[in-house]
Amino acid sequence: NAGVMQNPRHLVRRRGQEARLRCSPMKGHSHVYWYRQLPEEGLKFMVYLQKENIIDESGMPKERFSAEFPKEGPSILRIQQVVRGDSAAYFCASSPFGGFDNQPQHFGDGTRLSIL
C-alpha cells in the first residue's frame, strides 16, 4: 500500500508498558481514522482526527487510550499501561475530506499489537 503508512507493523509489549502506534496518511489527506480489530471480529471505529483536532473519539476506551494528529508528523495512537485485552490489530485510515464525499477511506496495513 503506497498510501497510508503505519509503523511498526508488529509491536510486542509487556503488561503495564506503553504502546505507541504511528500513522502517516496518504499524501493530500488531512483526515485520519483509527479502527481496532479484535481477533475474529470486524473493525471497530475508535477515533477521527484532523490536524491538531480530535473530531470524534466516541469509540475510544475511556481510560489509557489517547490519540493525536499534530500539525507536523504522523498521527499517534497511544495506549498506556497495556493489558492483555489490548492485543489486537490497529488500523489507520485516511481520506482527503471529512464526511463522506464519494471518496472512501484508504487503510494502512495495520499494527499488530501483542501483549505478553
Of 54, 66, 87, 107, the residue at the interface with other proteins (CB under 8 A) is 107
DSSP string, 8-32: -SEEEE-TT--EEEEEEPPTT--EE
Which positions from 20 to 59 touch other proteins by CB under 8 A, shown as an x/- string?
Answer: -----------x-x-x----xxxxxx--x-------x---
CA distance readout (Å), 32 to 5, 26, 81, 82, 103: 12, 9, 24, 23, 13
Q: Measure Cα distances from 58 to 11, 55, 73, 93 in Å.
A: 25, 9, 24, 16
Number of residues in contact with other proteins, rule: CB under 8 A? 29
Comparison of 16 and 98: residue with beta carbon closer to other proteins: 98
Residue closer to other proteins, measured from CB, 9 or 15: 9
Residues of this chain that bind other proteins (CB under 8 A): 1, 4, 6, 9, 31, 33, 35, 40-45, 48, 56, 91, 95, 98-100, 102, 104-110, 112
